[in-house]
Every structure is written in structure tokens, then in C-alpha cells.
Amino acid sequence: MYAPVESNQGFNFKPELPTSSAYYRLLKKLRRQVGHAIRDYNMIEDGDKVMVCVSGGKDSYTLLDILLQFKRIAPINFDVVAVNLDQKQPGFPEDILPRYMEENNIPYYILEKDTYTITKRLTPEGKTYCAVCSRLRRGSLYGFAQEIGATKVALGHHRDDIMATFFLNLFHGGSLKAMPPKLLSSDKKNILIRPLAYVEEKDIIKYADLRQFPIIPCNLCGSQENLQRAIINDMLREWDKQHPKRLHSIFGALQNVSPSQLADRELFDFEALDAQREFDMKDPEELKNRLDVVNLSFAAE
């Protein structure tokens, strides 16, 4: 399901760093946004071993690259190791990622599991692969994180992914939830972090192009038609063109939740409001006079 990628198709696995002012402005912006996300959610601490899940796409390459830069300049000590899950999809260029990691002296593991065949078998005819594929992928990667002693698992989801997930759940799942920047896995064994949470996809596209990452296209999910996530992404891109500040406002809303202004009885105790009400009973006579005035006004009507 992968588009054929030849080993010698022209990739420079260790290209010279760009020198343009546009590159350095973008790099400064990405570093600032990633740094703020790490700080705001306490994502990385001294002594951490961060396992970066690398798929071969623009997002995970960018995440790995920025974290390696932080490792060199950060005031704390932490390790970064890249892990790729080879899902055994036909045509997958197995040499691309190992060659990139080795030529750039990046510690890495290639985890081989045939989740492709399982996904194809378990997905009903006409349904998308996403649910089964992501569940199998998460299980494999999270288990491997335990094996290598990783204290954090870094995922390449960016700001637009977080908002797309929010709207998918809103439109099709009947729930208000997205992808949090930091999360304890459901088995409570892994801390998941998303350092690109503040980064816009369009900036990642520019950065990956400037850095000439050897992108491996994945067509397992992308080849399916009428994916709801693709529809949502198109909606977000159109909003960004027509209303440049709208996406910034939406993401800000995800960080500024008022439980008392929604309707979730598990999230907010509406029954306790009566007990919390405060009465000003310092002057009962004045209160009685106010009520008399109100009653007279009703009678006049």
C-alpha cells in the first residue's frame, strides 16, 4: 500500500543545513513553540529517556529534529531515542529510516510487527482502517517503550491534529474531547507527550521541505476515500485561509474550559449550586419592601 520508494532515488540523508533567513526565522518559531509546550505541560524532566515514534512522515521527522536540538542546548539532561514500527506494508522502503538514523548518528530501533495484515483482516468491508490500525500501533509502541525503559513517549501530533480530533468527536462522537498535550496511557504505564501541540501544520510542511527529510508516504489510510478526518482537515485549512485568527481562537478555547458553562453532570456538580447560594439577610425589612414593590408592579400589569 506504499508508493514505491527506491533506495537511491536522490535522497541526501545528511544534507547541509539551510542558511536562509527564512529558515532561521521558522526554526526560531518552532523552537519557541515546542519549548513553551514542554514548559507549560512539564513534558520533559531531568533524566528522562524520551522515545520518539518516527513514522517517516514530516511530523515525526520534525519532532525528532527539534527534540535532538533541545537535547544539545537544554539545561537538563535527557536522552532521545527514535523508534519506528515497521508494519510490513507491501512496498515499504525498509532501508530509508535506518540509513537516515545512522548517517545522522541518532540512536534508533526498528520494531517489526505485521499489523498491516491484521488491520486488513479485522476491518469490515467499506470501513476505514484507522481505528484498528491505530489501536494495534499504540499497543506495539507502548509495550516497546516499557522494554527499553523509556520514561516518556513522544508523538508527532501538531496543533491542527488536535483541533481535527476535537471536531471529529464533536461532529461524529458526541463528546467534547481532543488530544491532550500530555496524557497517561489507559494502562497507566506510559506518559505520552505531544511537543508539537502549539505548532501549525503549515509550518511543519515548510520546515520538512527546507530540511529535505526523506519522507516516506503512507497510503494505507490516505488511500481510502471519504475519510472524515480528511474532510475536517479541509475545513480547517479553508477557515485558516478565510479567517486567519479563527484556528488560534479555537485552540485557545481548548485551553480555557469552563465546566460550569457546559452540561456535563459528571464534570460539574449542578445539584450543589443551591447549597452554595449566598443570601444577603442583613436587613429583612429592606428585602420585604423590595418584594412589595415587585408585587405592586405585577398587580398594575
The answer to whether 110 touches 98, Cβ cutoff 8 Å, is: yes
Of 154, 184, 156, 161, give the one whose Cα is nearest residue 251. 161
The answer to whether 43 touches 195, Cβ cutoff 8 Å, is: yes
The answer to whether 38 touches 195, Cβ cutoff 8 Å, is: yes
Q: According to the annotation, is 218 in a ligand binding site?
A: no
Residues 6+ apart with CB under 8 A from 28: none
The terminus-to-terminus CA distance of the chain in angstroms comes to 76
Query: Helix (H, G, I), strand (E, B), or coil: what is residue 21?
Result: helix
Of 62, 82, 194, 78, give the one whose Cα is nearest residue 145. 82
- Looking at 74-200, list the stretches that DSSP marks H as alpha helix, in order from N- to C-terminal side: 96-103, 115-122, 130-148, 159-168
Q: According to the annotation, is 53 in a ligand binding site?
A: no
Which residues, in sequence order, are bridge partners of residue 29?
A: none
Query: Helix (H, G, I), strand (E, B), or coil: what is residue 263?
Result: coil
Q: According to the annotation, is 130 in a ligand binding site?
A: yes
Binding-site residue set: 130, 133, 221
Binding-site residue set for [4Fe-4S] cluster: 130, 133, 221
